[in-house]
Each structure stands twice: as C-alpha cells, then as structure tokens.
Structure 1
Amino acid sequence: MPDWVRSCIYRAMTLDLAAYLKRIGYTGPVRADLETLNALHAAHVNAVPFENLDVHAGRPVTLSLEAAYEEIVGQGKGGWCYEMNAVFGWALSEIGFEVLRLGAGVRREALGDEAMGNHLALLVRLERDYLADVGFGSSQVHAIALEEGVSDHAPVRMAIARTDDGYWRLHEGGPGATFSYDFRAEPADEALLAARHEWQITDPNSIFCKTLSAKIRRGTTYYMLRGRMLETQMPGRSTQQVMDTPEELSAVLDEVFGLEEPELEALWPKICARHKQLFPHAGGRL
C-alpha cells in the first residue's frame, strides 16, 4: 500500500475487520473495486447511525481510530464524521483500497476558511478518484466520482462542483444547495482536524453541543432527529413528529436508531430550550 495512505492514520492496527463487517451486516465479496466500495458504503449508512449523543451530553470524546472502533463496533453505537469515516477508511484500507483522509469545511461558502477541518471525509482511488463519506449525516449512500455532476442518493441528491478558488464543493440537495462542504483532494491537516474536533466537543456555540442529533438510512427512507423533532424523508414526501416527553424521545432513539441516552431526563430541559430556537412555531405533535 502506498506510503501516503499509511501516513494518514491507518498504520498497522490490530482491529478486527470481520467484526466491523458483521456490525454493518455486510456478507458480500471483499474486494478493492467500485462495486464493493458502494456496497460497503450503503451497508454502513443503513446500519450505523450518525449521532452526537456523547458530545451533546458532555461525555469525553477521544479523537482516535481505536476509540471510534470500540464505540461503533465494540459497543454497537453510532458516531459522527471523525469516528464514522475513521473506521470506514480503516476498513477500506484493510481490504486493499487506497484511502486518503480529507479535511473538509462544512458551510465554508458562508463561514470562510475558519470552517476547514470541521469535517472528515475520504478519497478512494480506483480507476479514478471517488469521494466516500459515511459521516455527513448518512446522506451519501454510495461513492461519488470526483468530477462535476449530480448523483442520486434517494431521497437526497448530491452535486459536486468546482469553486472559483480551487476547491471541490459537495452540495447536499443538488446543484447550488446551501448545505455543502469544501475540500481539496490532498491529505488532511491532522493537527487542524484535531483542533476543530476539540472546538466542536467543548465550545457551547458548536452545533453538536447545542443540538442532539441522530440520522440513519433505511433504504430510501431517511430518518433525521434534531432534539424533539423527527423528520422522515421518503422519495416525494416527508413527515415530521415532535416528541413531547423524554420517554417518547427515548423510544424513538431506541426503535429508529438503536441508541440509548442514559442522561435523557437531565438533558430534557436543554433539548426543549433548543427546540424552541429551532422550531419557534412548532408546539406539540405535528
């Protein structure tokens, strides 16, 4: 494997690839080709929820592959971009894929270069380069060729475009969609990733500190939880549901995402206050 792959993070690790494949429910061929990459990508986002429960609750979160693996595979929990893509990238490299960690900037278009490093994505090199990202809220289902264009991830569309200053920009929602992130096809600045990770787990202005979030795929059904609000997107339609009690929210976390939040009662006032900020016109059930 090329030195530029191993130098990123995936040195000789003693983690169990078979256990990871079991965690995501993948039983297909294990080959370094596009078909396998897409199958693994889809299996991960349909099995492992994107979630920030530990960050939101103020529990310690460590930026390391081993810690992410233990959380996702050992404990059967979910994770956010720094964890999800760390584990996914490691698994791909173990299979034989050439993997490059990318430092990206969510909403760089609005926030400027200060956003860089607030997201971890992956570049996978096959006959061409592909963007792989199981940690962008589970919205991307399969690898995306690194060329300008639109791809279908029903019920979501993704678009990749070049920016005037030489970055690639991924738009979630199709061409020109405001929710996006920027990146260059070059090795991540690991020190910058670490600094942005620390900010996002400690600063009260961090969206991950402010809003309890969980997202997961079930085929073409996409579940997105923000505090008390659960939105379910399907091709051509969507529904919303507001949880009125900690018990209702606990049931949704368990039944939809396979998650448990042990401090939900203590977090409930914070969750309710944030709900009023995000959804000022939503009362009880919708």
Structure 2
Amino acid sequence: MLPKKQDADTQSEIRAYFNRLGLPPPEDEPSCTRALLEQLQLAHVTRIPYENLDILAGRPLPMTWQGQFQKMVANRRGGYCFELNGLFANLLSALGYEVTTYMGRFLRGETTIPMRRHRVIRAVCAEGTFICDVGVGQSAPRYPLELVPGRIQEQFGETYKITREPFFGYVIHDLHRGQWRRFYSFTEEEQLDIDFVMPSFYCEKSPDSIFNKALMLSIKTLDGRKTIDGQLFRTFSGDGVAENRIASATELNALLQEHFNLDPPGLDQAGDFLARSQARA
C-alpha cells in the first residue's frame, strides 16, 4: 500500500495517477475533503474503464498496489472491481483519508444469495464517512455515498440509499423505475490485498465465472455510460441507447482508444477477443 507519509517516489506516483485521471497535480499535502473525494471518484469512473481484457488473454490480475499502478496508470489500462478499487483505495490512503476495504456481495439481478466477490472502499474525512466505488461496470454512483442509513442521496439523475439488514449488513439500493432494488451489500470485516486473491482467481478462471467469456468494458459519462458487451458497442444517455456491432479488430482498437481511454492490444489479440465474444454478442 502507498505510505501515508509521502516521499519523492510516492509524490511522483500520485502526480502520474492524477494525470491519468485528467486532473492537475495535487498540492503536496492536499486537504482531505468531501469535495476532493467527489472530484477523484468522478474522474476515476469517467477516465479509467472497467474491463476484462487481461482475463480473456489469460494474464493473472495484480492484487498489489505496485501491479495495479503499473497496469492501470503506467500502462493506461483499466480493470475490474478488485483492481480498480484496490488502486483507488491506495490513492486515498496516500492522500490522508482513513481507508478500509471490505468484501461485498453484488445483489443486483440475483435471485439467491451470491458469493462475496466485490471490493468496497470506506473513506473517512472530517466531513463524514463515505462508501467509494470505482469498480462497477453497470449504472453506479459517480460520487461517493455518505454512509448514513436511510438517507436518500441523489446525484446525476440517479437516486440511492443505504440500509442495514441482519444478514447482509449494509445494503446499497438504487431507485429503478420507481422501485428500490438491492445493488450490493457488505459487512465490516477489514480485508487486505491478499484477501482478494482467491475470489479474483475464481472470477478469472472458473468455468462458472461471467468474466472470462467475452469482452466486458464500461466507462461512465456525465449522463450515462459507454459499454462493450461481446461484439456490441453501446452508448447509454438521456436520449436512450445507441448500439453498433463491432466489425473488426481495427474498429475495436479505435473504440478502446477513443471511448475507453485505453492503450489497445495488438490487432491479432483484438481479433481473438472479438472471436471469443461472438457467441455472447
């Protein structure tokens, strides 16, 4: 984890991270405020995408700060929840926030109780305690949610609340077509980087995993998100959903650069990704 006491190397990494987020370099000791937390999370979800390219390529995913920084900042890639929220948690800790990471259950769309396979960040500053999450490819908060059960929290045309339940612990809900639905839950056992190795291995390698079948990419916009699901590129906005089928490796790589802020793979690998995604599209 990045040390809270910032030496020259740490400051250099933080400046590189802010540059990846499209933000100006921070002060040497920035104030840990709610406003900065909101600025950072919004920049993160609109600049560093949710993606599974390494899983499809068979490359092990990094569960350490050093590996995540190299992949997503230095090499201009994205990741999924274990990686994205691991990277973000370390940044917040280095900036001076009090940070704890938890394991959560992703509940949206589930009819039975699912395994714990989602990484969650709690960040504390003088203005309150917040749940931060930059690792969800579906619709999700662009700003941190204040950890206050029962409070209705609106942002970017979306509405959320947090409740507590005896089994699930804290439960994040979103308002969908006039009805509250469970989003994800977590309990308050602190998790270390090593605790995410086993669930990530399941997501990477299990034949039952949804993550190793086809292309899955998503990046937020101010009024929606852009996704690649299999061979389909979609843009969600206030005007609805626009959909196009990706016809070639060259087109895929152009989309990755233009819409997902990624350095693309070689054309042969991009073509392999599309071929593996054919059944899903």
TM exceeding 0.5: yes
Q: Deviations over 1:64-98 (max 9, x none)?
A: 11100111111111111111111111111111111
Query: 1:137-176, aligned counterparts within 5 Å?
Result: 137=137, 139-147=140-148, 148-154=150-156, 156-172=158-174, 174=176, 176=180
Structure 1 distance, partners of 2:237, 2:44, is 19
Give the 3 Å change call, closer, same or farther, for CA 173–69 of structure 1 in structure 2. farther
Give the 3 Å change call, closer, same or farther, for CA 227–154 of structure 1 in structure 2. farther
- Match of 1:177, SS state, is strand
Structure 1 distance, partners of 2:47, 2:194, is 30
- Match of 2:181, SS state, is coil
Give the stretch that moved more between structures: 29-38 or 9-18.
Answer: 9-18
Query: 1:55-74, aligned counterparts within 5 Å?
Result: 55-74=55-74
Does the aligned pair in 2 maintain the 1:155–1:236 contact within 8 Å? no
Structure 2 distance, partners of 1:269, 1:90, is 36
Structure 1 distance, partners of 2:175, 2:228, is 18
Structure 1 distance, partners of 2:68, 2:158, is 27
- Match of 2:19, SS state, is helix
Aligned residue for 1:25?
A: 22
Aligned residue for 2:186?
A: 183
Higher helix share: 1
Structure 2 distance, partners of 1:243, 1:81, is 25
Q: Deviations over 1:153-187 (max 9, x none)?
A: 43544332323425112235545336x21102341
Structure 1 distance, partners of 2:181, 2:245, is 26
Structure 2 distance, partners of 1:159, 1:239, is 29
Query: 1:1-286, aligned counterparts within 5 Å?
Result: 9-11=1-3, 14-15=9-10, 16-27=13-24, 30-107=30-107, 110-112=111-113, 115-116=115-116, 118-126=117-125, 127-137=127-137, 139-147=140-148, 148-154=150-156, 156-172=158-174, 174=176, 176-177=180-181, 180-188=183-191, 192-235=195-238, 237-259=240-262, 260-262=264-266, 263-275=269-281
Q: CA RMSD in A?
A: 2.5
Does the aligned pair in 1 maintain the 2:86–2:193 contact within 8 Å? no
Give the 3 Å change call, closer, same or farther, for CA 128–258 of structure 1 in structure 2. closer
Structure 1 distance, partners of 2:214, 2:163, is 29
**Aligned residues, how many?**
264
Structure 2 distance, partners of 1:220, 1:49, is 16
Does the aligned pair in 2 maintain the 1:155–1:221 contact within 8 Å? no
Structure 1 distance, partners of 2:257, 2:198, is 32
Q: Deviations over 1:249-279 (max 9, x none)?
A: 332222211331331212332210122xxxx
Q: Identity of aligned pairs, percent? A: 24
Deviation at 1:18, TM superposition (A): 1.3
Structure 1 distance, partners of 2:112, 2:21, is 34
Give the stretch that moved more between structures: 64-73 or 227-236.
Answer: 227-236
Structure 1 residue runs without a partner (length 5+): 1-8, 276-286
The amino acid across from 2:122 in the alignment is L
Structure 2 distance, partners of 1:77, 1:38, is 22
Does the aligned pair in 1 maintain the 2:152–2:161 contact within 8 Å? yes
Give the 3 Å change call, closer, same or farther, for CA 159–245 of structure 1 in structure 2. farther
- Match of 1:240, SS state, is strand
Q: Deviations over 1:189-239 (max 9, x none)?
A: 655422101111111221110131111123224112211122212235222
- Match of 2:135, SS state, is coil
Structure 1 distance, partners of 2:137, 2:155, is 13
